[in-house]
Amino acid sequence: MDRVWQWVVDGPAVRVGVTTSRRDRTTSTVVLADRRALIVDPAWDPDELAGIAADLARAAVTVAAGFATHAHHDHVLWHQGLGPGPRFASPRVAQICARDRDEIVRRLGPDWPAGLGRVVGRVQPAQDRLCWDGPETRLITHDAHSPGHTAVWLPSPGVLVAGDMLSDIEIPLLEESTVAQYAAGLESLWPYVDRAAVLIPGHGRVAIGGDAARGRWHADRAYLDALLAGRDPDDPRLADPALRSAHADNVARITPGR
């Protein structure tokens, strides 16, 4: 494959690859089994989507299924070159995409190609497990960050694809959730984080090894604890001015109820 892929699992039966966009360090995850692929959150720019499709085609890989972790515009993208296979999301995300698809496409900007706009957010609901011709794939759905946000858990290789949580470059972003919903989402992820050999965030670097995965969870939990206590978090991610702004937004969201 011509793009830069980090093969976080490279076994004889299952391979898991991650490629990172130039935009916001957005990750795209491919799970390969017998030249069949599950692709999670392909992103971002049109040429990058085309590149992912071309890489898979050159490797004679068929995309058996796609999955969108949540209904934000950078996580429900697709490319015609990835084929007509079914694309899934949690029931709540599928509902939001059906209801708000025009607005989701609008957020991609006026220069987004019309052809790619037509395939944005075309997902169908899936609950608990994803049925495809590959390893067992479990779905952990919660309401942290956005309604119906879903992590993808692959038990056999111990890989957790976390969506927009557990990032090394982003603090917890409440956005469409309350702090209680975010905390509940973290708690729902903990049993899988605790067993993960690999943790893939929606933005940022892959965490390799159990200690690294658990460290991501504890960093997010510590941030929420500081937020609730009204303390300025001691979090290196806040060195980024954009994240300081996001932190101010988080504070504003919880202030009325504190």
Residue-level pLDDT at 255: 80
189 touches 178 (CB < 8 A): no
Domain boundaries 6-257, CATH class: alpha beta
* CA contacts within 13 A on the Cβ side of 81: 16
- pLDDT tens figures, 134-143: 999 999 999 9
- pLDDT tens figures, 67-109: 999 999 999 999 999 999 999 999 999 999 999 999 999 999 9
- pLDDT tens figures, 109-127: 999 999 999 999 999 999 9
pTM above 0.95, yes or no: yes
Domain boundaries, the chain: 6-257
Give the Cβ contact number of residue 216 at 10 Å.
23
- pLDDT tens figures, 187-222: 999 999 999 999 999 999 999 999 999 999 999 999
The one-letter code for the residue type at 124 is: Q
